[in-house]
Chains A and B, each alone.
Chain A
Amino acid sequence: MDYTFQFSVVFRELPYLLGGALVTLQIAFVTFWCGAFIGVFGAVAKVYGGRFSRRVASSYVTFFTNTPALVQIFLLYYALPDAGILLSSMTAVLIGLTLNAGAYLTEILRAGVISVRRSEIDAATALGMSLLQIVVNVMLPHIARTIYAPLSNFFIWLVLGSSMAALFGVEELTGRAINISTANLRTIETFMVVAVIYVVLTVLASASLALVGRVAFRVRAKVF
């Protein structure tokens, strides 16, 4: 054990790594919101849809939650060019992660929709609320409250999962770490620093999400 740590070569590259962290957050953000968009339709289809749309939504969710995200991105990246669709590595990653996120978010949102209590809808109806007023005042707050915690977890998962993009040459946090370590040969130090940056990212994300939860949904979420 006579390995001497040398962090200075890594610290020199900190701005470069932090730039990568920004790309990581961008990937997480884009895939999260696009996935949520898909998830709304998926959840509505699964809860209120007819037989056909329920089956389509179920097949989609089953496929994307039962195969690794990495395999899905590989398929997109290497199979689509054969069909004449050329995707940049970043686009392939974004589409792959979005489809994956859409499947998980369908399930999370579905849980939210079915959490609305029939009795509160009855009460709102009896008070004379219109359908729109019931959705806005009674249903949405419930849905938001129920899905808020799994949604936060899933966002964290996306922040970490976006590291898969490095395998396709996307220069996000992990990708840039690989770049640095192949140049400075300080792999251990580089990835230790990167691990700390990931922790900081997720703690910041958890803390801000916990704050949103506490203020908006009265959920006492713990950061740790």
Chain B
Amino acid sequence: MKHLEIRGLSSAYGSVRVLRDVSLDAGKGEVVSLIGPSGSGKSTLLRVLIGLTPPTAGEVSIAGEKVNYRNRRSVKAVRDRMSIVFQQYNLFQNMTVLRNVTVAPIKIKKRPRAEAEEDAMSLLERVGMAERKDAYPDELSGGQQQRVAIARALATNPEILLLDEVTSALDPERVNEVLDTIRALTSEGITMLIVSHEMAFVREVSTRIAMMDEGRIVECGSPARIFDSPTKARTRDFVSKILKH
């Protein structure tokens, strides 16, 4: 049984079909990356998985349990096991760093504040942001905010972590501090779905890579296969264009 199983997933904004019949799975602790041009549906796939965008067809199962995205309790259960980190960090601007990380454990998981704060501090320690625990997001650089966002996503102890172009909004100098943080997570047994344009990074950390285009998965395979000997022309084209730089 796969940890995350996606079968025939589709989604649409009005008449625009952003996801078409996507099937993908990930074993426990596997790191699967989604690559492809902008607008190919990578981010939408992540948003559908965590229940921010409704699917129009298809099935998602987590550890064998089918998710019903029309049922509030079922979606809540998904969000208990899954976290997402966004491209624009999406931190709560009115809360300190520490509060951003503890708000979900305290308000949603109903954990005692002291305990939640202790865990939050060790998470902030891991992403190198412990010293800034009392800062507000607007006092931090993009890279620092994104590291806090990663800590916030981990605070609910997710089994599955979705990373949506987490370095795309960062200055080039800040990219590595975030990538280092993610790299450290890949060895902890969390199943990850990574949307990224950082090809060298994707190649290094992924167990498998899925190439997406126009809402479909064009090709899926090991990093070596996708980058060195892609079978589909679309993948070859995309990879060659990106790796030329």
Residue ranges of A at the interface with B (Cβ–Cβ < 8 Å): 117, 119-120, 122-129, 133, 137-138, 141-142, 145, 217-218
Contact = CB atoms under 8 A, between A and B. Distances in A.
Given A119-B86, A119-B88, A122-B52, A129 B94 contact: no
A123 B107 contact: no
Nearest to A123: B90
Given A122-B52, A218-B136, A128 B90 contact: no
B206 interface: no
Interface in B111-163: 136, 152, 156
A17 B22 CA distance: 77
The DSSP consensus for interface residues of chain A is: helix
Given A128-B76, A128-B79, A122 B90 contact: yes
B88 A125 contact: no
Nearest to A138: B92
Count class of interface residues, chain B = 20 to 34
Secondary structure of the B side of the interface?
Answer: loop
Contacts of A125: 51-52
A100 to B, nearest CB: 31
B107 A137 contact: yes
Contacts of B50: 126
A141 B99 CA distance: 14
Contacts of A218: 94, 136
Contacts, number: 55
B94 A127 contact: no
A160 B148 CA distance: 46
Contact of A120 (B79, B83, B84, B93): B93
Given A137-B103, A218-B136, A126 B93 contact: no
B108 A127 contact: yes
B80 interface: yes
Given A120-B91, A129-B107, 6 more contacts: A117-B90, A117-B93, A120-B90, A126-B84, A127-B156, A137-B103
B92 A126 contact: no
B91 A123 contact: yes
14 contacts: A119-B88, A120-B91, A122-B90, A123-B92, A125-B51, A127-B103, A127-B156, A128-B79, A128-B156, A129-B104, A137-B92, A138-B92, A138-B94, A217-B94
A142 B104 contact: no
A124 B92 contact: yes
Contact of A141 (B52, B76, B79, B94): B94
Contacts of A120: 90-93
B103 to A, nearest CB: 6
A137 B156 CA distance: 17
Pairs of residues from A and B, 7 with the lowest C-beta to C-beta distance, nearest first: A128-B79, A123-B90, A141-B94, A119-B90, A127-B104, A128-B108, A126-B84
Contact of B93 (A124, A128, A129, A142): A142
Contact of A126 (B52, B88, B94, B107): B52
A123 B101 CA distance: 12
Given A120-B90, A120-B92, A126 B79 contact: yes
A122 B104 CA distance: 13
Nearest to B88: A119
Interface string B7-23: 00000000000000000
A138 B103 CA distance: 11
A141 B92 CA distance: 10
Pick the most buried of A117, A120, A123, A138: most chain B CB atoms within 10 A of its CB: A123
A125 B93 CA distance: 16
